[in-house]
Every structure is written in structure tokens, then in C-alpha cells.
Amino acid sequence: MINVFGSRTGNEEIQNVTESLKAQWLGMGPKVTEFEARYKERLNLESFLMVDSGSNALFMAVTLLDLPKGSEVILPSFTWVSCAQAVMMAGHTPVFCDVDPFTMNATAEHIKAQITDKTGAIMVVHYAGLPVEMDDVKALGYPVIEDAAHAVDSHYKGTYCGGIADVGIYSFDAVKNIAVGEGGGITVKGEERAKRAKLLRYSGIGKSGFEASTQGKARWWEYNISEAFIKMNPSDIAGGIALGQLENLDDNQARRKEIWNTYQEAFKGLNDFVNPVDASADCKHSYFTYSIRLMNGKRDEFAKYLFDNGIYTTLRYHPLHMNPLYEQTNKTLKNCEMLNEDCLSIPLHPNLSDEDVQKVIHHVTAFVKG
């Protein structure tokens, strides 16, 4: 079966993990620190912390905004469940907005339609790695969280995604562009907020005993707990894999881009078939997933046909406002509901062979042409 998502690991990851094992250092340590420094530098971020998942980074991001309890946070319905869960876990209300049916990103207009006097913040998602029109979103005047889970290599007019607004998060789960298994990251603006993020990551504890002992503090085992929070430390095994992935990122991204461009060319002009949108000349795409639209009412049949021919596909995402947990929050979001019927992600990841890519093209084209 050709998988829809996947990752590619190399010798660097194996070597880094081996080093951690040989050093008998498994918990958060030098590999995480090195990854944080290199990632921050590559993306030119003001601050960066690695955490144990993108979902937890989202929860930390909402917490860091310090919104009045019960605030509304506007976010696209066409996103992963963690975005809304993070808002709820932080004591706020998710309010879903629609997305553009071609870019699959929320625009300022979609967001504006959901603003009330309880609106406290906006969460945007750079879907598939295509940057959201951030100037328009920022102009709305609310604090903004950027979910850059798909967008580690994307930039918006020269600024890497995640680093454009107040707080940005990344996911390094098993199939993301930097794939660690489980992992995530957070970047924030402002020194105070960055200090607080570091504190929150370790259960709200100011300093580890080890740090205190190296600073000559007597009774280094005592600590100040300033806030109640969940521990989000990543392991050094995860840090080592992340470092290797970062070293291989350009190669992996080049492969993603090559496959993306091959699909774009092969599917051009197919009837009832909509290719995903490329980034504009002043922005950069990350090619996390290749989501098409089949507008002839046969999307489910198409997915089944591909599956029967050894090609696994999926829909990212089943709109959140249609889920029983959230279905009361908004009545209708036309474009999200349309995407729920005609959108499909087809295989795109750096581990696909040329043969895999040709097989996908062959079967997609055969079905669509009938």
C-alpha cells in the first residue's frame, strides 16, 4: 500500500540517537538544546522551545495569551482537533470560521464574520504549508496564534511561518516535515513570555535541581513552582531525531517539492478536478500534504478505487463544527462542508519512489478521465 503520509530518516538520526544511548542520557538535555538553537537560527525566530507535541504546544500557546476566562478564540473548522481542544482546555470557547475553498486557509473576511464582543484571540492554520494572508489577519487587531504544524519550511513575505504573529507552534509528529515520532515546538514574541514558556514546559518549576547545583546554589533540590501546568519536556532521543531531521530537511523538502510539481503538471486540466494552490512568488510552501478536490460527487468512490489499487488517501480535515462535541457552536460553514464532500489528500512524502508517484498519477488520471 502506498501511504498518504510518511517520513524519511537517515544516518544522522541513527547516529544522534546512538550517541544519546551511549551517553546514557535519555531525558531532555544537550540534543534538545542543540536542536532548539539550530531551529531558531534557521527560521530566524525570536525564541524557540521544543516540547513533546504540537497539541501540547497549542495548549501552551493559548495559555500564554492570558485571555480573560471564557473568551472566544476564532479558528478554522477545517483543522485538526487539537486546535479546538487547546482552546477548551485553557478555559475558553472555540468559535469556528469558514475557509477559502481553494487555499483551504481562513481569510480575514472569514474570521471577521465570527467576531463578537467576547473575541479574545485568533488562531490561524497554514493549511498544507500554504501561508495564510497574515497582514490581513494581523490588521484585525487581536492576538494571533499561528498553527504552523504543516509549515516548518514555509515563509510569508520572507518571515518563516510561526514567527509572524504573537505565538506560533510546530508539530514534529511521525509524519510531519520534521518527523520525530512525537514532538512539537513553540515560538513566542517578547522576553517575558519566552521565560514563562520555559517555566511552563517543566510543570511551572523555575529551575531544575541540576541547573541550580551548577550555579552554586545550596539546597539545589528546592524549587519554586510559580504556576500549575502540565510537563511538556521532550526526551533527548526526540531531540536527536529532530536534529537529524533538520539536517536532512532541505533534501526531504526538495523531494516533497519535486513530487508536488510532478502532480501539479500531471493533473493540470483534468475535468472536475481542482489542484491545490501554489504559494505566491513572495511566499514559500512547505508541501506537507497534497489536497485535491473532485467536484463530480464521486470523491468517496474515487478514494475507494485508489484504496483497491493500493493507494491510501484520507481527508484532512473532517470539519470540527460537524463533530458532535462542537456541532452547536456554528450552524453552517459552507466551504468547510463542501470540502468535507469533495476534498482528498493523496500520497505526498519524501519516501515515495518515482514508481509510487507514477502509480498514483496513473490511477488518479484513469479514474477522473473515466
Ligand X SMILES: Cc1ncc(COP(=O)(O)O)c(C=O)c1O
> Going by C-beta distance under 8 Å and a sequence separation of 6 or more, which residues neighbour residue 222?
212
Whichever of 98 and 147 has its CB closer to ligand X, that residue is 147
Sign of CA dihedral 270, 267, 175, 145: negative
What is the C-alpha separation between 10 and 295, in angstroms, rounded? 39
CA atoms within 13 A on the CB side of 363: 21
Residue 151: CB minimum distance to ligand X, A: 9
Q: Report residue 110: phi and psi, to 5°.
A: -65, -40
- We find the least distance from the C-beta atom of residue 52 to ligand X, in angstroms, to be 9
Q: Among 283, 303, 281, 284, which Cα is nearest to 292's?
A: 303
Pairing of β 72-76 and β 119-125: parallel
Quick one: 82 or 154, whose CB is closer to ligand X?
82
Residues in touch with ligand X (CB under 6 A): 53-55, 58, 79-80, 82-83, 125, 147, 149-150, 171, 173, 184
Question: How far lies 324's CA from each of 104, 111, 284, 288, in Å?
Answer: 22, 22, 36, 28
For residues 238 and 364, which CB has a smaller minimum distance to ligand X in the complex? Answer: 238
Residue 75 or 259 having the CB closest to ligand X: 75
Contact between residue 66 and residue 278 where contact means Cβ atoms under 8 Å apart: no
The nearest distance, CB 215 to ligand X, in angstroms, is 33
7 vs 364 by CB, closer to ligand X:
7
Residue 51: all three cell numbers together: 516540547
Nearer to ligand X, 54 or 276 (CB): 54
**Least distance in Å: CB of 82 to ligand X?**
4
| Distance of closest approach, residue 29 Cβ to ligand X, in angstroms | 21
Of the two residues 173 and 236, which places its CB atom closer to ligand X in the complex? 173
Residue among 107 and 364 whose Cβ is closer to ligand X: 107
To the nearest whole angstrom, how small is the minimum distance from the Cβ of residue 311 to ligand X?
Answer: 21
Please identify, using beta-carbon distances, which residue of 186 and 360 lies nearer to ligand X.
Answer: 186
Coil vs helix vs strand at 191: helix
| Rounded Cα–Cα distance for residues 231 and 229 (Å) | 7
- How are strands ordered across the β-sheet holding 343-346? 273-274, 290-294, 343-346
Contacts of 339 (CB under 8 A, 6+ apart): 78, 99, 101, 104, 293, 319
Cβ atoms 14, 245 nearer than 8 A: no
**Position with the least CB separation from ligand X:** 54
Residue 297 CB, shortest distance to ligand X, in Å, is 27
C-alpha distances in angstroms, 350 versus 9, 109, 227, 339?
Answer: 10, 35, 41, 26
Q: How far is the CB of 35 from ligand X (least distance, A)?
A: 15
C-alpha dihedral (318, 320, 326, 327), degrees to nearest 10: -60
Q: How far is the CB of 272 from ligand X (least distance, A)?
A: 27
